[in-house]
Structure 1
Amino acid sequence: MEQKQYSNKWQKRFDFYDKHGAPNTPEFKTALKTASFGQRLLINMNFFAFFFGLIYFLILGLWKKGLVLLGVSLGIAILVTIIDGLTGWSFPDGVYNGLSVGISAMWAMLANYNYYLKETKGLDGWNPLEGMRMV
């Protein structure tokens, strides 16, 4: 079976995760603090996932995690709509914009490590926080 070729960006991300571990480890956090701003963005954020969310997760083959994150995103939207309906007043537009950016950031911050786990460790479950034990 032929080995998959990754772009330079993905190779840098994978090397960083191989060397420093999961995003919640002290080694990862220390290494990230010493990295340049551009390197921190490369490791922590995925701009395609920020703008395209579920579509990008589907392209990467992360459909299970994408569906879970879609459910979380829809759940937040439904909750805000219910609160609007029950209280009779609407949140200011800034709140909706902030929620939209926050949800997009969630997609962007989870894409890289989840793709790394799928491609290198074979972990392709439903949990988008897989391998990132929150302590």
Structure 2
Amino acid sequence: MAHEHTGLTAAPAPVRSGKWQFRFGFFDTYGTPGWGKPDVEYAAALRALSFRDRIKITMNFCAAFFTVFYLLYLGLWRKAIVVLVVAVALGVTTVALNVPYGLDTAISMAWWIWIGMRTNIYYYERVAEGRKTWGL
């Protein structure tokens, strides 16, 4: 697409791996889950998939293990900043409240798993829908 005032053309969409194409195809067809319970059609389509494909749709292990770095790699720098700020705030809060080690670890793990479960949706929203938000 050419920009009228500059004559520049937009870069073509990046070529995505088969895994991303599968995720994007699913999200194109059934939408993305919001914060609450997903709609009936989305839930039924997800249940119809094999376990491996369900995991492929609902979890991004690179994001769970490498969080901020992987979000930056995907170009989700706003989300990366928010994730880092929330992680630091959680860490400071747990130290200030003298939270037991086991509970602190559980809170941290829950946070990283949640980010891993939302990253596919964030990336889809950025690439397919053009949304660039700060919100998680």
TM-score tier (shorter): 0.7 to 0.9
1:60 aligns with 2:70: no
Encode CA deviations 1:43-79: one digit per residue, 9 max, x unaligned: 1110110110000000000000111111111111111
Rg (Cα) greater in structure: 2
Structure with higher RCO (Cα < 8 A, 6+ apart): 1
Q: How many residues align?
A: 122
TM (normalized to structure 1)?
A: 0.83
Let me know the Cα RMSD of the aligned residues: 1.4
**Which structure has the highest helix share of the two?**
1
Encode CA deviations 1:66-123: one digit per residue, 9 max, x unaligned: 1111111111111111111xxxxx51x3223212211210220111010001111100
User: Which residue in the other structure is 1:78 paired with?
Assistant: 92
CA distance in 2, matches of 1:127, 1:73: 15
SS in 1 for 2:13: coil
Percent identity among equivalent residues?
A: 34
SS in 2 for 1:126: coil
Which of 39, 43, 46 is the matching residue for 1:29?
Answer: 43
Which of 33, 36, 40 is the matching residue for 2:54?
Answer: 40
CA contact (8 A) 1:23 1:29 kept: no
CA distance in 1, matches of 2:17, 2:81: 26
Unmatched segments (≥5 aa) in structure 1: 85-89, 129-135
